[in-house]
């Protein structure tokens, strides 16, 4: 059992109806150029899968709730294990297809076996709770351009809010989002996240309404 057990947000509005989490997964190759803690890039500290799994998530979530969990392709098995440890049953996933400005796949991704242009957002349920009505029409794909290293697309919030109940909790948040409780060591408004910053990701050709 990992020793480090972090405190989660105070339960002033909990129990939360939906969790979004983007953990600082630790890769085996910690010195490789894709590792977030790589000395030259020093993007953010990472946690072992066990440290992530022992977070007391179940204590702050409603008995009927949803979980959205980002996980790199290489660590999907770890993501599924964490989901179980947090009290959720895996049901489905939303795939982020990273696009270039002209709409083609953004081949700048890394990967040992394949060059990754996608990233899964695992979806799990605690108790018995279907997605809200718009969820049945929501396709399970987000097609946008990339921004900073590991920064996820803002489209996720709109999708989650229309498909899953509040109150909303984001673990390992880096930028505050209205209507959400954010938690993480860079989540405070006064903290400037490490790493290079990009102002926007701009439109993707052929994808109306995505900026």
Q: Does 188 bind ligand SAM (CB under 6 A)?
A: no
> For ligand SAM, which stretch binds (CB under 6 A), given 81-89, 112-120, 159-167, 181-189?
181-189
Residue whose C-alpha is closest to residue 83's, from 60, 119, 49: 49
Q: Which residues contact 19 (CB under 8 A, 6 or more apart)?
A: 57, 61, 65, 66, 67, 68, 69, 86, 169, 170, 171
> For ligand SAM, which stretch binds (CB under 6 A), given 72-80, 104-112, 119-127, 179-187?
179-187
Token reading at 113: 């076996």
Task: Give the helix ranges, DSSP H, for 149-203.
Answer: 155-163
Least distance to ligand SAM, CB of residue 23, Å: 6
171, containing H or E segment: strand 168-171
List the one residue from 6, 62, 80, 132 that touches ligand SAM (CB under 6 A). 6
Hey, which residues does 170 pair with through a beta bridge? 20, 182
Q: Does 120 bind ligand SAM (CB under 6 A)?
A: no
CA dihedral 80, 81, 86, 89 (to 10 degrees): 50
| Buried/exposed code over 6-41 (b: 16+ C-beta within 10 A; e: otherwise) | eebbeeeebebbbbbbbbbbbbeeeeeebbbeeeee
Size of the site for ligand SAM (CB under 6 A): 16
Which is nearer to ligand SAM, 34 or 129 (by Cβ)? 34
> For ligand SAM, which stretch binds (CB under 6 A), given 10-18, 96-104, 122-130, 178-186?
178-186
> For ligand SAM, which stretch binds (CB under 6 A), given 72-80, 90-98, 137-145, 182-190?
182-190
Report whether 179 contacts 147 (CB < 8 A).
Answer: no
- In the shown chain, the binding pattern of residues 23 to 52 toward ligand SAM, with x for contact by CB under 6 A and - for none, equals -x-------------------xx-x-----
Q: Does 66 bind ligand SAM (CB under 6 A)?
A: no
Least distance to ligand SAM, CB of residue 152, Å: 4
Least distance to ligand SAM, CB of residue 73, Å: 14
Least distance to ligand SAM, CB of residue 71, Å: 10
Rounded Cα distance between 24 and 72, Å, is 10
Q: Does 172 bind ligand SAM (CB under 6 A)?
A: yes
Which is nearer to ligand SAM, 155 or 166 (by Cβ)? 155
Rounded Cα distance between 135 and 159, Å, is 8
């Amino acid at each position: 059992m990992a020793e480090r057990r972090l405190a989660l947000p105070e339960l002033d509005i909990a129990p939360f109806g939906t969790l979004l989490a983007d953990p600082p997964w630790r890769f085996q190759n910690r010195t490789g150029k894709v590792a977030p803690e790589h000395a030259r890039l020093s993007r953010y500290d990472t946690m072992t899968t066990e440290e992530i799994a022992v977070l007391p998530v179940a204590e702050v979530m409603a008995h009927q709730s949803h979980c959205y969990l980002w996980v790199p392709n290489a660590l999907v098995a770890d993501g599924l294990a964490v989901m179980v440890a947090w009290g959720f049953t895996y049901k489905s996933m939303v795939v982020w297809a990273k696009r270039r400005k002209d709409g083609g796949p953004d081949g700048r991704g890394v990967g040992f076996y394949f060059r990754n242009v996608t990233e899964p957002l695992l979806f799990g349920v605690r108790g018995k709770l279907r997605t809200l009505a718009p969820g049945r029409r929501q396709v399970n794909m987000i097609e946008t351009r990339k921004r900073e290293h590991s920064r996820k697309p803002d489209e996720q919030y709109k999708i989650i809010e229309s498909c899953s109940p509040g109150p909303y909790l984001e673990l390992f948040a880096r930028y505050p989002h209205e209507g959400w409780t954010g938690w993480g060591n860079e989540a405070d408004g006064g903290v400037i996240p490490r790493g290079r910053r990009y102002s926007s990701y701009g439109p993707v050709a052929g994808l109306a309404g995505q900026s």
